[in-house]
Amino acid sequence: MSHSIINSANTVIVLDFETTGLSPDYGDRVIEIGAVKIEQGAVVDQFQGLMNPDRRISAFIEDYTGITNTMLKRAASCGEVMTAFADFAGGAALVAHNASFDRRFLHAELKRVKRKCRGEFACSMLVARRIYQQAENHKLGTLVEYANIPNDGTFHRALADAQMTAQLWLKMVDHLRDEHRIEYVPFSLMQKLSATPKNAVKRFLQNYISKQPVNC
Alpha helices by DSSP H, listed for the chain, are 3-6, 59-65, 69-73, 78-89, 99-112, 124-131, 140-146, 158-180, 187-194, 201-210
Q: Work out the pLDDT band at 150, boundaries 50, 70, 90.
A: confident
Domain of residue 154: give its range. Answer: 3-210
216 belongs to a structural domain: no
Quick check: 1 pLDDT over 50?
no
Q: How far is it, in rounded angstroms, from Cα 85 to Cα 105? A: 13
The per-residue pLDDT for 132 is 97
Express each pLDDT in 152-162 by its tens digit. Answer: 766 779 999 99
The per-residue pLDDT for 149 is 92
Of all residues in the chain, the percent with pLDDT exceeding 90 is 88
pLDDT averaged over every residue in the chain: 93
The per-residue pLDDT for 214 is 64
Number of domains in the chain: 1
Of all residues in the chain, the percent with pLDDT exceeding 70 is 95
- Packing angle between helix 158-180 and helix 187-194, nearest 10 degrees? 90
215 belongs to a structural domain: no
**pTM, to two decimals:** 0.93
Burial of 5 (0-12, 13-18, 19+ CB in 10 A): exposed
Quick check: 25 pLDDT over 60?
yes
Quick check: 216 pLDDT over 50?
no
Q: What is the enclosing helix (H) or strand (E) of 76?
A: strand 76-77
Quick check: 169 pLDDT over 70?
yes
Non-local (6+) Cβ contacts of 131 within 8 A are 172, 175, 176, 193, 201
* Closest to 61 measured CA to CA, from 16, 19, 109, 103: 19
The per-residue pLDDT for 117 is 85
Quick check: 3 pLDDT over 90?
no
What CATH code is carried by the domain that includes residue 123? 3.30.420.10
Q: What is the mean pLDDT of residues 3-25?
A: 88
- Packing angle between helix 158-180 and helix 201-210, nearest 10 degrees? 60
Give me the phi and psi of 48, to 5 degrees please: -150, 140
Express each pLDDT in 31-87 by its tens digit. Answer: 999 999 999 999 999 999 999 999 999 999 999 999 999 999 999 999 999 999 999
Q: What is the largest CA-CA distance in the chain?
A: 63
